[in-house]
Structure 1
Amino acid sequence: MFSITWTKNSRWKSLLKILGGSISLRLRYLRLKRRPEGETQYRTKGILVDLRTKKDFMLAVALDIPTDIVPDSELIEVSLVGDLLGAALENLDKLIRQPYGCGEQNMLNFVPNIVILDYLKASNLLTNSIQQKALKYLELGYQRELTYKHKDNSYSAFGEGDKNGSTWLTAFVAKSFKQAQKFIDIESSAIIEPLRWLAAKQTRNGSFPEVGQVWHKQMQGGGSNGLALTAYVLTAFVESMSLTDEFKDTIDRAARFVNEQIEKSSVDTYSLAVTSYALNFAGHPASDKAFSLLESKSQTEGESKWWIKDMEKDKEREGIVNPWETCIPNAINVEVTAYVMLSYLYRNMYTEALPILRWLLAQQNGQGGFASTQDTVVALGAIAKLAKKIVGQNKDMSVAFEYPPGDSTKLKLNQDNAMVLQKAELHSKKVRTITVDAKGTGLGIVHISYRYNVNKKGDFPLFNLAPKVEEASTKDHLILAVTLSFAGGKESNMAVMEVTLPSGFTIDDEGLKALKMTDKIKKVETKDDDTVVILYFDKVTSESMCPVISAYKSFKIAKQRPVPVTIYDYYDNSRRATEFYSPMPSEICDICDADDCQHIGRLSQ
């Protein structure tokens, strides 16, 4: 047996002193991954470098890294790709960092592959290797989605674990299955039967109410008399028109309802964005009015254009600033803006859509996705639709990433490597400003991705969160009670809580079974070798609940640092809270053999 003492915080290479019995060994470097203390924060700045009409481009980018981070926890990476979907293509299995373990979130394993295949095929860029990779993910996503189907052919987030199927998810699935039919074998009945279920739910006035659990309130919550949901369901029926004319009356009544709502009521921005998309997609005469109303709600700055949900406008007027909204792309705003961009593209306004593209790319993460599932699915669809029109064959670009005190990292782009996502890690962790200097021809996408750890809770928490180590805990057995409630209103959307266990601890099967039987927890998962526990909730309300996590020490580790518990609203990730907790303290002598204890004690000082 030997003990390892960390003497320098580093990502991969760490200086170690190893003592084994009476033999002292010094290894200069050992490749060993160590997770820094605190909670990791991920940030990305996406930049569209357009050299189609000019020969150079320069932009100074500031990295928003706080001064009080965990020392040496920074990692800064730059990347370059010559295709608007190049980053997504490289990361089809990890487009977002959030977990996706329910029926709606599983569609992230499905829809982007349709988008990628459709785009590459239309652009004559589809290779056999890319096709096989995308088809594999498409088939896996399809088979997994079928596990969330109810006996009545509807779908819901947790399948038969939910009381009813969901109007929204059933429409999403039926529409996506129809789009995937040209790539994989999907029976027409797998599309038509869910649509029949939906048609039976249509009300007399033509609207579609949500009969299942509400997880995404902007879409399902009934705002503007349920306009957004009805408009979205309408697109699923329009998508199926090549399969059957069975739903013509259903489509006509839904379109009439949507048109009436635009004419007679004040419509919120989210509902208007979805409605404009649906009407333009269907080629309906009312699309002009919806589009005109949307234009009056746009936001512009420099060469970028975007839309925000109405609540954000109210906060701006009142001077309320949630710091999370300034550093984390808002999933709802991305989704709204992507729906608007689709309206532009259905109206053949490709040049006018470029400012919207710039804003969307600035919100993109380093993997090519966005913050959550819906914003990723809708935004990738919009970007792909525009990419078909602006794809070019003339690419010859050199990009220099310059940073103090005079260092530079260079990446080159040409026609041969345009689809390859090139990455480079900066040698210095102290960089806070990077100048992007590009020269040449063509179009490229630059990402500056960075991460760092913080060991304090965030400001402006919108959940109440109180992790407490119970008195019955020991140094080898952790019993953690987490009291939580929603502080941002009556209730949240679907919420996810990630509980990081202290170093050396893992949760076992019995602990997982106990959590799965806990009221209000819909699903339990783990990641990072059972050292992080993920809990899904349909919603979190103002009424407190208190799940209990039981974990055991699997590795002999002493002097553990505090670890985070984080909860967030899945569809609005500015709604979040983080708190830290510490296990019962373990000292060096608690984990070593008696003969070695005195030597290890001296070594750790």
Structure 2
Amino acid sequence: MFKHQTNFRFHRLTAFVIKSFSQAVSFTYIDINVITKAVQWIIKQQETSGAFNEPGIVLHKEMQGGSVSSKRSLTAFVLIALLEARDINLVSKEVQKSVTESINKAVKFVANGAPASIANLYELAIAFYALSLAKHPIAGAILAELEKKAKVNGGEKYWTLPETEADKLQPWKTWRPPQTKVRAIDVEMTSYILLGYNLKDDTDNGIRIMKWLGRQRNPRGGFISTQDTVIAIQALSGLGEKIYVPNFQMSVNTVGDTWSQGKTFDVNNRNALVLQIEDIPNTVRSVSVNANGKGLCLMEVAVYFNVNNDLREPAFALTTTVLNDSTKGFRLRVCFSWLRGGQSTMGILEISLPSGMEADLDSVDTTNTGGQYKKVEKAFRQINLYFDAILSKQMCIEVDIRRVALVARHKPVWVKLREYYEPSNEVVKFYQSKALANATIIEVCGPNNCEEVKRR
């Protein structure tokens, strides 16, 4: 099994590894014994009802423990992993019988009373794909419910959580779609439904979903979080296999209002998998695109900009205080809390370091973190502290930051707190050593150093 360093065993993490190995086996060597042991462990944790319930720390809010609703989401996720592993013979023959029995029990639990008994849209989406993969007849009834809740707009099709439910996760403050990106959970839900459509060979609906998902990607090819990116890429790849045209030739021409020469992209069988990029001049304010030929390709125009304030109500409170400030170093206190009721999932506190400064990891004080602190690691010009959760009650850490190089006139540097598995929930604050910000190079050097600087 795969576990946390505190010895919590994670059903979801183990299932995720099984799923990932199932997808990777076509491209690299995977030891079948490793997968078999993981599968054996996870099916031993199954309840007599067929459900799986997470005993460890919750990493994904839609699978938070306790209710039958949450058990159904987690059970569907594990069921998908077991089905995908079984379908490509990634478990040894010795355990295939017990795997089949476990799958049948999980299918019965997920399908029980569906769709009427399913509590929310996320559960409908993941249950639809899981039961479609299992070829269960109730998947059709679940799809009918999903169709009632679908949003269709301009040739696109997608699903989003109701505003009242979504606002508890990621409330918008000022801007709303389409001016800003959707939530990760919406991308994940819609991707599960696309996976189900792929199994039905329904490319008409698949292309409508693809158009919407394509607009939600960030310029680097991912989406919002790890979870939605993994599922979305799997769904889009599956659709791509079904709509692939063996012989195609396309020419895509782009021009801008102040960019008359433009750029022409040629896409064909030989370069279809090659990413083509062109930097548009900063003066361009509008771009026209014209495509001709035969085939299907995706063109994206990425625009980067800054805003003065965060677009959403903050998920965290965060303050920084510089203590014992001097030109030789200082002690930094960071206090923080979760603002949306209950507690967050796994959190990471990133503290960037001023130029010429180094954090003393032995000095880190985490006694005021409610037992949630797990570890600290050093990265390039920053340190990262990990927490099982960020509590609604204020938590504080302190660390000594000492000078290791002669640098004066320090500028403010940032501290960032975010949910590890929901990175859009983040807050950023800055801190600054006033002593070092106001110090001259001679004051930093001291009376007996930097003679060359003094002579200048």
TM-score, with normalisation over the residues of structure 1? 0.66
Superposed counterparts of 1:500-539, under 5 Å: 500-507=352-359, 510=362, 519-527=371-379, 530-539=380-389
Which residue in the other structure is 1:208 paired with?
A: 52
Q: Residues 196-252 of structure 1, C-alpha deviation per residue, up to 9 Å, x if partnerless?
A: 222222222211111111111113445625111111111222234334222222222
Indicate the SS of the match to 1:381: helix
1:602 alignment partner in structure 2: none
Change in 2 beyond 3 A, CA 1:359/1:458 = closer
2:204 and 2:391 mapped to 1: Cα distance?
A: 45
Alignment of 1:364-513 (within 5 A): 364-392=217-245, 393-403=247-257, 405-406=258-259, 409-415=262-268, 416-428=270-282, 431=284, 433-441=285-293, 442-452=295-305, 460-470=313-323, 472-507=324-359, 510=362
Partner SS, residue 425 of structure 2: strand
1:321 paired with 2:172, answer: yes
Tell me the amino acid that sits aligned with residue 361 of structure 1.
G
For the 8 Å contact 1:480–1:550, the answer to whether it is kept is yes
- Assess if the C-alpha contact under 8 Å between 1:338 and 1:382 holds in 2: yes
- The whole-number CA distance in structure 2 between the counterparts of 1:555 and 1:352 is 60
* Mapped partners of 1:308, 1:222: distance in 2: 24
Alignment deviations for residues 54-73 of structure 1 (CA, whole Å, 9 cap, x no partner): xxxxxxxxxxxxxxxxxxxx
Give the number of the structure with larger relative contact order, counting CA–CA contacts within 8 Å between residues 6 or more apart.
1
Q: 1:292 to 1:264 in 2, by over 3 A?
A: closer
Q: Structure 1 residue 344: deviation in Å? A: 0.9
1:304 corresponding residue in structure 2? 156
Q: TM-score, normalised by structure 2?
A: 0.85
C-alpha separation in 1, matches of 2:398 and 2:183: 31
1:508 to partner: Cα distance:
5.2
Deviations 1:535-589 (A, max 9, x none): 2222112021112233333443333332222222233344222222222324333
Match of 1:21 in 2: none
Partner secondary structure for residue 525 of structure 1: strand
Give yes or no for contact 1:515–1:524 (8 Å, CA) kept in 2: no
User: Cα–Cα, structure 1 residues 554 and 246, in superposed 2: closer, same or farther, change >3 Å?
Assistant: same
Residue pair 1:308, 1:333 contacting (<8 A) in 2 also: yes
Tell me the amino acid that sits aligned with residue 402 of structure 1: G
- The Cα of 1:475 is off from its aligned counterpart by 2.6
Distance (whole Å) between structure 1 residues aligned to residue 304 and residue 357 of structure 2: 25
Inter-CA distance 564–299: structure 2 relative to 1 (3 Å threshold): farther
Percentage of identical aligned residues: 31
**SS class of match (1:170):** helix
Question: Structure 2: how far apart are the matches of 1:535 and 1:296?
Answer: 44
* Counterpart Cα distance in 1 of 2:31 and 2:235: 27
Q: Number of aligned pairs?
A: 433
Alignment pair present for 1:356 and 2:209 = yes
Residue 190 of structure 1 and its aligned partner are, at CA, apart by 1.4
Q: Is the 8 A contact 2:173 2:311 kept in 1?
A: no
Structure 2 unmatched ranges of 5 or more: none
**Of the candidates 569, 584, 587, which is equivalent to residue 419 of structure 2?**
569
Q: Determine if contact 1:332/1:571 at 8 Å carries over to the other structure.
A: no
- Shift in Å, 1:313: 4.8
Structure 2 residue aligned with 1:237, among 77, 82, 96?
82
| RMSD between aligned residues | 2.9
Aligned to 2:453: 596
Q: CA deviation at 1:303?
A: 2.2
Cα distance in structure 1, aligned partners of 2:141 and 2:453: 79
Question: Retained in 2: the 8 A contact 1:458–1:577?
Answer: no
Paired residue secondary structure (1:256): helix
Verify the 8 A CA contact 2:115 2:145 in the aligned structure 1: no
CA distance in 2, matches of 1:598, 1:266: 78
In structure 2, relative to structure 1, the CA distance for the partners of 1:309 and 1:595 (3 Å cut) is: same
CA distance in 1, matches of 2:152, 2:412: 42
Partner of 2:121: 269
**Change over 3 Å in CA distance of 1:399–1:190 after alignment to 2:** same
Q: Which residue number corresponds to residue 118 of structure 1?
A: none
What runs of 5+ residues in structure 1 fail to find an aligned partner? Answer: 1-153, 600-605
Distance (Å, rounded) in 1 between the aligned partners of 2:421 and 2:347: 8
Partner of 1:133: none
Please give the alpha-carbon distance, in whole angstroms, between the structure 1 residues aligned to 2:215 and 2:80.
28
Q: Indicate if the aligned counterparts of 1:456 and 1:579 stay in contact, CA closer than 8 A.
A: no
Q: In 2, distance between residues paired with 1:344 and 1:238?
A: 17
Give the conservation status (yes or no) of the 8 Å contact 1:411–1:422: no
Measure the CA separation in 2 of the matches of 1:328 and 1:266: 27
Deviations 1:235-284 (A, max 9, x none): 22223433422222222221111111424524211111111010111111
Q: How far off is 1:487 after superposition?
A: 0.2
Q: Which residue of 1 aligns with 2:39?
A: 195
Contact 1:395–1:443 (CA<8 Å) still a contact in 2?
no
Q: Which amino acid aligns with 1:596?
A: V
